[in-house]
Amino acid sequence: MLNSLGVMRAADLKLVPDGTFVRIAGAVIARQRPVTASGFIFLSNEDETGISNAIIHPKLYERNRVTVTKKKFLLVEGVLQNQDGVINVRASSVQVVNVGDVEIQSHDFH
């Protein structure tokens, strides 16, 4: 389902040029709202290939407060910042991923 939506894997973001519109999705593993960041929220999402980071503008946060602060699996759309090996998505939208709609395969180690 996520592939059909054009969601990029975290591991593939390093190959995407700066300024490209992308979609990322994953389990939210960290939410940060530093006092020094003027109301910006920083999210870290994990997928099967690694971690992707998103920057949420204060206005977007106000429109999606519950989604950003409470939901566990998110799809984020926005412009990729890929500068000097530092990769972030400047979010233009954020929405909940219903994990019941996602096909999940376990990685069993034997």
In the predicted model, is pLDDT for residue 64 greater than 70? yes
Share of the chain above pLDDT 70, in %: 90
CB 93 within 8 A of CB 77: yes
CA 21 – CA 18 distance, rounded (Å): 9
Query: What's the CATH code of the domain at 16?
Result: 2.40.50.140
> Per the domain annotation, does 105 fall within a domain?
no
Give the domain range for residue 38: 7-98
- Counting Cα atoms < 13 Å in the Cβ hemisphere of 47 gives 22
Given this model, what pLDDT does residue 94 score?
Answer: 97
Given this model, what pLDDT does residue 5 score?
Answer: 81
> Per the domain annotation, does 104 fall within a domain?
no
CA 40 – CA 54 distance, rounded (Å): 10
Residue 28 confidence class, pLDDT cut points 50, 70, 90: very high
> Per the domain annotation, does 75 fall within a domain?
yes
Q: pTM of this prediction?
A: 0.85
> Per the domain annotation, does 83 fall within a domain?
yes
Amino acid symbol at 35: V
Residue 98 confidence class, pLDDT cut points 50, 70, 90: confident
H/E run at residue 51: strand 50-56
**pLDDT tens digits for range 1-17:** 777 788 999 999 999 99
Given this model, what pLDDT does residue 18 score?
Answer: 96
> Per the domain annotation, does 27 fall within a domain?
yes
